[in-house]
């Protein structure tokens, strides 16, 4: 929350997958500052991924509106948007065995014309992104042979090669062990230092805790939003998930314990 001008502003935003379908998101109003990390937290089906897809421009809100950097999203071209926003999807589909470097190079697409292929400069950028995430050694390996953590880093590298200002990550730490989770969190906080605006979804309140802002969603509605310490309370989490939790503070940071 360092900038007065929000990077992403949502006002009265609602979304449904068509007339007759229930609203997946309802009346969401939210401002996300530039250069911050925001965690979207909520039970399965609470609308976290839908919200990311609306910020991405892939889905168009049924009601309300969204502004990116002060501009309505719908006035931007697809190419402009792709230079501004990068996506790390929950489960990247990789049917064919591209090498890690070939896959990361796809991130240059927003800067290439329809029939253009990547230049030597684009290749250098891809290699630099791989190097910055510690993937240089595996760059010629088929991406399908990487471990879960390396693979997730490769997807992040692909999104970073887009040179986006906003990075959206859908459950980037799911299925990862503690070491890889820490590795990804470290990358995210380093990207924040470089001024990137990060929005990620998660199921784990103890991962959300690293964010500057935590947004709690329940059944498509905004349950609470604010700094981690103020939002990750036993009361808010209990109301969001419908279970009893205990929140203790260690070194000034909230730690959520579940009670069975």
Residue 104 or residue 225: which is nearer to other proteins going by CB? 104
Task: Tell me the closest approach of the beta carbon of residue 24 to other proteins, in angstroms.
Answer: 15
206-234 CB burial, b ≥16 within 10 A, e <16: ebbbbbbbbbbbbbbbbbbbeebeebbbb
Task: Tell me the closest approach of the beta carbon of residue 148 to other proteins, in angstroms.
Answer: 14
Task: Tell me the closest approach of the beta carbon of residue 154 to other proteins, in angstroms.
Answer: 13
Task: Tell me the closest approach of the beta carbon of residue 214 to other proteins, in angstroms.
Answer: 24
Residue 126 or residue 228: which is nearer to other proteins going by CB? 126
Nearest to 122 by CA among 152, 161, 91: 161
Task: Tell me the closest approach of the beta carbon of residue 42 to other proteins, in angstroms.
Answer: 19
Structure tokens at 206: 């103890």
Residue 31 or residue 92: which is nearer to other proteins going by CB? 92
Nearest to 29 by CA among 167, 230, 222: 222
Distance in Å from the first CA to the final CA of the chain: 36
Residue 120 or residue 251: which is nearer to other proteins going by CB? 120
Residue 158 to residues 10, 90, 101, 164, 171, Cα–Cα distance (Å): 27, 14, 9, 11, 16
Task: Tell me the closest approach of the beta carbon of residue 56 to other proteins, in angstroms.
Answer: 6
Residue 59 or residue 256: which is nearer to other proteins going by CB? 59
On whether the CB atoms of residues 57 and 6 are closer than 8 A, the answer is: no
Q: Which residues bind other proteins (CB under 8 A)?
A: 53, 56-58, 78-79, 81-83, 85-87, 89, 91-99, 101-102, 105-107, 109-110, 114-115, 117-118, 123, 126-127, 139-140, 142, 144-145, 159, 162, 168
On whether the CB atoms of residues 160 and 86 are closer than 8 A, the answer is: yes
On whether the CB atoms of residues 152 and 184 are closer than 8 A, the answer is: yes
Residue 162 or residue 180: which is nearer to other proteins going by CB? 162
């Amino acid at each position: 929350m360092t900038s007065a001008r929000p990077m992403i502003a949502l006002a009265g935003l609602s979304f449904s997958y068509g007339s007759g379908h229930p609203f997946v998101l309802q009346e969401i109003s939210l401002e996300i500052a530039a250069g911050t990390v925001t965690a979207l937290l909520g039970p399965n089906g609470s609308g976290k991924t839908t919200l990311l897809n609306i910020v991405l421009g892939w889905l168009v809100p049924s009601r309300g509106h969204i502004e990116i950097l002060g501009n309505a999203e719908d006035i931007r071209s697809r190419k402009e948007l792709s230079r501004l926003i990068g996506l790390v999807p929950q489960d990247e589909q990789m049917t064919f065995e591209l090498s890690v470097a070939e896959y990361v190079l796809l991130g240059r697409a927003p800067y290439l014309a329809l029939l253009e292929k990547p230049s030597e400069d684009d290749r250098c950028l891809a290699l630099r992104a791989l190097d910055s995430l510690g993937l240089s050694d595996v760059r010629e390996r088929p991406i399908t042979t990487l471990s879960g953590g390396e693979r997730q880093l490769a997807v992040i590298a692909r999104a970073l090669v887009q040179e986006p200002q906003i990075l959206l990550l859908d459950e980037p730490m799911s299925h990862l062990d503690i070491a890889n989770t820490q590795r990804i969190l470290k990358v995210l906080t380093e990207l924040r230092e470089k001024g990137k605006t990060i929005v990620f979804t998660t199921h784990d309140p103890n991962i959300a805790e690293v964010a500057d802002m935590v947004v709690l969603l329940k059944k498509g509605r905004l349950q609470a939003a604010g700094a981690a310490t103020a939002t990750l309370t036993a009361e808010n989490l209990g109301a969001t998930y419908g279970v009893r939790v205990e929140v203790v503070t260690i070194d000034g940071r909230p730690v959520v314990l579940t009670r069975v």
